[in-house]
Amino acid sequence: MPRRREQPLEHRLLLTATFCLLAGGAVMVYSASSARTLLEGQGDGTMYLVKYVGYGAVGLIAMYTISRLRRIVPTPIESASRGTSEARPPNRSALDRRVPAASFARR
């Protein structure tokens, strides 16, 4: 069975920070919504927590999918740093175009 390549430290830190933020957010959502829904008699107090966890799961799946797509389709910055011909030259805006100073002096 082939061994999976270990992820870089930055990826593990980002994933850990994401899970910590999701867990902290879930605690805050539950503590803020459970008392309110129990006092108002609207249910067991977990409706907002279930919604939050569902949206968090959709976000994690989207994050995983996008990270896999980046390996298949490189961004223009990545392809430019590799020296491939897929990178497009940057657009020059009107501010980037230099106008000779002599053209203003003639008026």
Q: Which domain holds residue 19?
A: 9-74
CA torsion sign for 22, 23, 24, 25 is: positive
Distance CA 60, CA 27 (A): 18
The reply to whether 92 falls in a domain is no
Q: Is the pLDDT of residue 42 over 80?
A: no
Contact 44/37 with Cβ under 8 angstroms? Answer: yes
Of 17-26, 30-39, 40-49, 89-98, which range is least confident? 89-98
End-to-end CA distance of the chain: 78
Of 30-34, 48-52, 73-77, 102-106, which range is least confident? 102-106
Q: Tokens representing 95?
A: 């501010």
- Domain count of the chain? 1
Of 3-7, 36-40, 70-74, which range is least confident? 70-74
The reply to whether 36 falls in a domain is yes
- Output the pLDDT for position 7: 75
- Output the pLDDT for position 17: 94
Helix (H, G, I), strand (E, B) or coil at 91: coil
The reply to whether 82 falls in a domain is no
